[in-house]
Amino acid sequence: MRPANDVHGRDPGASRLLAKSDLVSWIRRLMDDAEVIAPATGAGGDLMFAPVSDPEAVWLGPGNPLQPPKQYVLPQTDPIVRIERNGGGVQVSSISDERTRVIFGMRSCDARGMAYLRRMQATDLPDDAYLRRADRVTVVTLACTTPCTLGFCVCCDAGPFARDGHDVQLVDLGDRFLAEGATERGRAMVAEAPFRPATQVDVVKRDELEREAERHFGDESAHLGAAMRRISTRRVAEELWEAMSPWCFECGGCNFICPTCYCFSVKDRCQDHGWERCRTWDSCQYSAFTLEASGHNPRERRKDRIKRRFFHKVSAQYYQRDGAVGCVGCGRCVQTCLGTTDMPAVVAAIRKGVWHG
Amino acid sequence: MTTVLTTCPFCTCGCGLHLQADHGHLIGSAPSEHHPVGQGKLCARGWHAHEAPTWGQRLTRPLLRRGGEQVEASWAEAVDEVFRGLSGVLAAGDSVGVLGSARATNEENFLAVKLVRGALQTGNVDFCLRAGLQPVVDGIAEVTGDPWPPGRLLDLERSEVILLFEGNLAETHPRAASLVAAAVKRGARLVTVGWHRTHMSRLAARHLPVDSGAGYEVITGFLAAVLSGDQEAGTGTVTPDPGSEALRASLAGLSVDDPVREAATWYASAARASIVVSEGALLPDEARNGAAALAMLAAVTGHLGRAGSALLLLPSRGNQRGALEVGVRPDALPGGLPFDDEVMIAKLRRHWSREPSLVTGLDAEAMVAGCRGLVVVAEDLPAVIQAGRAGLDVLANHRFVVVLDSFATATARAAHAVLPVAAFGETDGTTTSLDGRVQRVRACVSPPGIARPGWQVLAELISRFGLPCTYGSIGDLHREMTDLVPLFAEIGEGQLDESWGALVSRPATGPEVRLRAVDLGRRDPVEGPCAAVFDEAFDWGSDPSVVHAPTLCRDHVARRKLFPTGFVEMNKVDADRLGVKPGWAVRLTSKHGEVTVPVVVSGEVAPGMARLPFSARDRVGVVLGGRGRAGVRVERV
């Protein structure tokens, strides 16, 4: 007989324990069947999601790589179709990435990003190339018991503990991890040794850690709800967008670094005997992003592009359609923005109605 | 997926980025979080650095001209043919020149110098973009004794006042622009000086509009204001000298507008204040005097050499500073040392086992026009010479032209021998940023076909011309450069193997500041109702490493995508007066010629001005007659 679910609706049987001393051997076992991607300190001291060659080098300490793991489901340059000359005609064949991957040590913000991307790619006209790759990715998250410096995931309901987008969530309990299987695949991964059943004490400890982590954010938050109300009821003055405009340098970094941005362009890469049609990241902040074949550009002015970005990210219209705001509160745009038009700064400006640069 | 840390190849800011490759192709670029300059940021170019070598039309095998055709050849055949071709030119008593490039690495440029002064025994070595940079460098050196005064890009962020003499900083040097914006956010006063309302001018506390290229007049105004005596002239100390008196005397009686006077006061009284000058902000004929005046302004206000105050010269293209430092110039040895520097000559003699050539050679323009043999290292002439595509016609007069490049450029197609070399992301080396960081670039993927790293090809050519030149690795080459290039001598052992490379510290400017009188001679006025000028900045739209990159050449800049063959930017006032709307054609007529182009209406351009894109100067340059600006009549067609 299955045990009753706890007050959070969780199945206590889904919570398992992994001794920290068993972590490396578990990663090594995962590496037998899949390419394991995890944060590690790379060149220049930068933390990056990279294929693991040495499980000892996997970094599960504080901090999150500046570049999200998005590139492993949506690469910056992604060949989709091969076009080859074939006698007088051409032959077209699809290119698929069949690599089985485990992304290990992802944080809740990025897991929410993955869930968001999947929803976008799976609805309306499902994107087969995306889904085939993403279906082969297993996500093992590490809950943030200590919030990062720039993140504001609590404002986006995207952390500090994962709610969706993951198969397994690890929670650091000191000398052991609590491992929560969130999907069939995840539960199977933690079902056998070296995992063992968690006790009620472990689960209580986990909940305390989550509440403690949320408390760390204090009263400061990005107030996305307030911004949403203003932006969705047209209560943001045009002058505000105009005032922001010179503070954006159109680098596109906010899009490229964002776990939920997925807009792309299509470009043909020349090969020896033909071409590869590639999906490449694009930025809605670039002036030619909306340039039409007629020459008309509905968002020629920078202020209109900034306005559009934030309308998509935080308006009620998109919230209703997507079921989430288009921001996971990872805080990366704060660091990577070449100007000052990052998410918290713009949301604050929308809420207060003034822009200070 | 593999990732390597490298340095952005585009502007001279020198941001660090991670190049990513999958299945042997470059697929992405990401900012380096801890890089001292980039600090986790990149501009649009940096974010697409991987595109240039991936999408460009690449050279994969050596090509030799046979009849009217270029046919594929082996490396051995190609090197033999280059040796025979250039030897033939020399045997006939004609001269051979070598063009280095701001697009090449320090190692490639250094070997270009070695090829010329060591192997070919001549002085004909230069790079095309030096023409715009050298007068500015010389002007600063005249005052400070050092062409690259102390001060770092990052000093901008903490400056209280920034004087910005720009072409269009946000476009040419986005990281520098972002640091200026950060300073403004902290409360700094930004003063922009330029002839059009740029991105940065919208962040400025004061924009000082000037006639095209008249930045010099504003600089002398600043100097006159701080020396006029009706205010405290700075907080620094300057050793009194005859030059100081001459400077004061030359400025006596110069009337200074109030906005300039006030901005000068801000600059002089700030604890930390910086001057940023883009290479293109000064017209060629006033660049040297303008740069000297700026250096004197920094000196008399006590900002020269003061911690946190920078005088920054921004070269337009990637490795211009590096090319100059390693000696890609016809009139000096590496480090800009004179031909009578016995210590350097002894070192060159020891490393090269022969007497180095100590003659002043031809400059780039003269080489293109006057040599009969030419070696072009990583340069597409139409992209970098004022004459644009017309410059290629001159190559027909050469008996033998060799091009080392990664891309099938127009110059490569006109060559007798083409040697395919590795592009960015495919070769190891270093580049030098505008503030003297010698930083690593690294190979992430292999070059296509049988293309080879440029430094290896140049070393082989040097050997073929009788100067043994074999390096087991690029580390061996660095050891030679450490001894022969003064900037490299300051790099510690092993520093170049570390993640980014080395930040080379130069001694703070001492008391040897030399002041002098300024020349207040006025420029010839432009004749015509409208002044047409080129976009002052080097335009990436004509650079082979950008022109092939789809995002950079088309998608990022809408107007370039819309009007690939050129356009003219005008103020709405002028467009309305002519009765034209965006995209309509207008005819520009000057005493040099006429051209018909579509109109782009831009609030950045002042009424009475017409801005032409440098990248399209093949088509539109005729109205300028090879000059930076000209008076034009504009008519609706």
CB contact under 8 A, A291 and B54: no
CA B17, distance to chain mean position in Å, is 21
- Out of A252, A287, A295, closest to residue B557 by CB: A287
Q: What's the whole-number mean pLDDT along residues B492-503?
A: 78
Mean pLDDT of B84-103: 96
Whether B174 contacts chain A with CB within 8 A: yes
Q: What is the pLDDT of residue B351?
A: 96
Find the closest chain B residue to A287 by CA distance. Answer: B558
Q: Check A300 against B558: CB less than 8 A apart.
A: yes
Mean pLDDT (chain B, rounded): 87
Q: Which of A217, A248, A273 is the last residue of a domain?
A: A217
Query: What's B290-334 look like in SS3?
Result: HHHHHHHHHHHCCCCCCCCCCEEEECCCCCHHHHHHCCCCCCCEH
Question: A211: distance to nearest CA of chain B, Å?
Answer: 30
Which residue of chain A is at minimal alpha-carbon distance from B44? A251
Instruction: Note whether A181 and A232 are same-domain residues.
Output: no
Residue B541, pLDDT > 80, answer no
B20 touching A (Cβ < 8 Å): yes
pLDDT averaged over chain A?
92
Chain B: closest CA distance from residue A276 (Å): 11
A149/A18 same-domain check: yes
A43 touches chain B (CB under 8 A): yes
Rounded CA gap, B388 and B407, in Å?
A: 18
- Tell me, yes or no, if B43 comes closer than 8 A to chain A by beta carbon: yes
Does A166 lie in the same domain as A297? no
Q: Is A113 contained in some domain?
A: yes
**B348-372, pLDDT tens digit by residue?**
999 999 999 999 999 999 999 999 9
At residue A254, what is the residue type? Answer: C
Smallest CA–CA distance, residue B377 to chain A, in Å, is 25
* B171 close to A250: Cβ distance less than 8 angstroms: no
Q: In the predicted model, is pLDDT for residue A198 greater than 60?
A: yes
Number of alpha carbons in the 13 Å side-chain half-sphere of residue A5: 5
Three-class SS of B434-484: CCCEEEEECCCCCCCCCCECHHHHHHHHHHHCCCCCCCCCHHHHHHHHHHH
Higher-confidence position of A218 and A89: A89
Pair (A184, A240) in one structural domain? no
Q: Is the model's pLDDT at B503 over the cut of 80?
A: no
Are residue A141 and residue A165 in the same domain, yes or no? yes
CA distance A53 to chain B (A): 12
Distances (CA, A) of B212 to B45, B167, B282, B316, B455: 27, 10, 9, 18, 41
A339 in reach of chain B (CB within 8 A): yes
Cα B351 to Cα B189: distance, rounded to the nearest angstrom: 51
A250 and A204 within one domain: no
Confirm if A175 and A202 have CB atoms less than 8 A apart: no
- Is residue A1 situated within a structural domain? no
In this predicted structure, the answer to whether residue B300 has a pLDDT above a threshold of 90 is yes
* Mean pLDDT across A251-271: 93
The residue that leads in pLDDT, A272 or B141, is B141
| Chain B CB within 8 Å of residue A269 CB | yes
The pLDDT of residue A1 is 41
Greater confidence (B623 vs B508) lies with B623
In a domain, A7, yes or no: no
Q: What is the pLDDT of residues B469-484, one digit of tens each?
A: 999 999 999 999 999 9
pLDDT at residue B584 is higher than 50: yes
Handedness of CA A147, A149, A150, A155 (dihedral sign): positive
Return the pLDDT at B524. Answer: 58
The pLDDT of residue B559 is 63
The interface predicted TM-score (ipTM) is: 0.95
Say yes or no: A149 contacts chain B, CB-CB below 8 A.
Answer: no
| Global confidence as pTM | 0.93
pLDDT band at B553 (very low <50, low <70, confident <90, very high): low
Average pLDDT over residues B86-107: 96
d(CA A178, CA A198): 7
pLDDT digits (tens, 9 = 90+) for A164-191: 999 999 999 999 999 999 999 999 999 9
The partner residue sitting opposite A338, judged by closest CB among B41, B55, B558, is B41
Q: To the nearest whole angstrom, how far is the Cα of B2 from the nearest Cα of chain A? A: 8
pLDDT at B234: 44
**Distance separating alpha carbons of residues B565 and B561, to the nearest angstrom:** 9
In this predicted structure, the answer to whether residue B231 has a pLDDT above a threshold of 50 is no
- Contact call for B556 and A295, based on CB within 8 A: no
Q: Which residues of B touch A78 (CB under 8 A)?
A: 27
Q: Which of B322-336, B403-417, B557-571 has the lowest mean pLDDT?
A: B557-571
A293 and A166 inside one domain: no
Write out pLDDT tens, residues B369-382: 999 999 999 998 87
Contact flag B41-A47 (C-beta cutoff 8 Å): no
Nearest to B458 by CA among B100, B28, B54, B77: B100
pLDDT for the residue B561: 63
Give yes or no: residues A183 and A119 share one domain.
yes
Task: Give the pLDDT band of residue A10 (cuts 50, 70, 90).
Answer: low
* Whether B561 and A267 lie within 8 Å, measured CB to CB: no
CB-based burial label for B621 (10 Å; 0-12, 13-18, 19+): buried
Q: What is the mean pLDDT of residues B532-544?
A: 56
Residues from chain A contacting residue B175 (CB–CB below 8 Å): 338
**Partner-chain contact B54 A77, CB within 8 Å:** yes
A293 and chain B in contact, CB less than 8 A: no
Do residues A292 and A166 share a domain? no
- Please tell me which of B106-120, B218-232, B371-385, B621-635 the model is most confident about, judged by mean pLDDT: B106-120
Coil vs helix vs strand at A228: helix
Mean pLDDT to the nearest integer, B227-246: 63
C-alpha A122: how far from chain center: 16
* Residues A75, B27: C-beta atoms closer than 8 Å: yes
- Going along B525-608, which residue ranges are E strands? 530-534, 568-570, 585-589, 594-601
Q: How far apart are CA B334 and CA B484, in angstroms?
A: 7
Given an 8 Å threshold on Cβ–Cβ distance, is B203 in contact with A336?
no
Domain membership of residue A90 (yes or no) is: no
The confidence score (pLDDT) of residue A23 equals 97
Mutation pick from B41, B581, B600 vs chain A, by most beta carbons of A within 10 Å, is B41
Q: Which domains does chain B have, with CATH numbers?
A: 63-129+319-421+451-472 (3.40.50.740), 132-314 (3.40.228.10), 530-636 (2.40.40.20)
Report whether pLDDT(B555) > 60. Answer: no
Question: Is the N-terminal amide bond of A160 cis, ω within 30° of 0?
Answer: yes
Whether the CB of B18 is below 8 Å from some CB of chain A: the reply is yes
Q: Measuring CA to CA, which residue among A321, A326, A158 is closest to residue A227?
A: A326
What are the chain B neighbours of A302 within 8 Å (beta carbons)? none
Number of domains within chain A: 2
Instruction: Let me know whether A187 and A303 are in one domain.
Output: no
Q: Which residues contact A274 (CB under 8 A, 6 or more apart)?
A: A82, A83, A84, A85, A90
Instruction: Establish if B31 touches chain A: CB-CB under 8 angstroms.
Output: yes
Disruptive mutation site among A77, A80, A285 for chain B (greatest number of B CBs within 10 Å)? A77
Residue A4 resides in a domain: no
Any chain A CB within 8 A of the CB of B50? yes
| Residue A9 φ/ψ, nearest 5 degrees | 80, 15
Average pLDDT over residues A140-144: 98
Confidence band for B216, pLDDT divided at 50, 70 and 90: confident
Q: Which of B386, B378, B362, B321 is nearest to B14 (CA)?
A: B321
More confident residue, B621 or A242: A242
Query: With 80 as the cut, is the pLDDT of residue A5 above it?
Result: no
Residues of B in contact with A267 (CB under 8 A): 55, 550
Top-confidence range, A66-75, B203-212, B575-584: A66-75
Claim to verify: residue A41 and residue A173 sit in the same structural domain:
yes
Range of the domain at A348: 224-262+284-352
Higher pLDDT, A122 or B389: A122
Q: Identify the pLDDT of residue B537.
A: 44
A250 touching chain B per CB within 8 A: yes
Question: What is the chain A residue with the closest CA to B1?
Answer: A51
Out of A212-221, A346-355, B165-174, B367-376, pick the least confident: A212-221
The pLDDT > 90 percentage for chain A reads 77
Confidence of residue B237 (pLDDT cuts 50, 70, 90): very low
Tell me, what's the pLDDT at B233?
A: 42
The Cα B545–Cα B248 span in angstroms is: 47
Which tokens go with A16?
């398992």
The answer to whether B296 and B143 have CB atoms below 8 angstroms apart is yes
The tokens 């030098």 sit on which residue? B432
Give yes or no for A95 touching B (CB within 8 A): no
Q: Which of A217, A248, A274 is the last residue of a domain?
A: A217
Question: Is A180 a member of any domain?
Answer: yes
Under the banding of pLDDT at 50, 70 and 90, the label for residue B528 is: low
**How much is the pLDDT for A223?**
78
Name residue B440's beta-bridge partners: B430
Closest CA to B548 of B55, B44, B104: B55
Minimum distance, in Å, between the CA of residue A216 and any CA atom of chain B? 25
Distance CA B48, CA B553 (A): 11
The answer as to whether A79 is a domain residue is no
* A271 within a domain of the structure (yes/no): no
Q: How much is the average pLDDT of A14-35?
A: 95
Does the structure show a pLDDT above 80 at B529?
no
The residue that leads in pLDDT, B150 or B153, is: B153
Is A340 in CB contact (< 8 Å) with chain B? yes
- Distance (Å, rounded) from C-alpha B366 to C-alpha B342? 28
pLDDT tens readout for residues B436-480:
899 999 999 999 999 999 999 999 999 999 999 999 999 999 999
Residue A312 and residue A193 in one domain: no
Please indicate whether, in this complex, the C-beta atoms of B47 and A338 are within 8 angstroms of each other: no
pLDDT of B619 strictly over 80? no
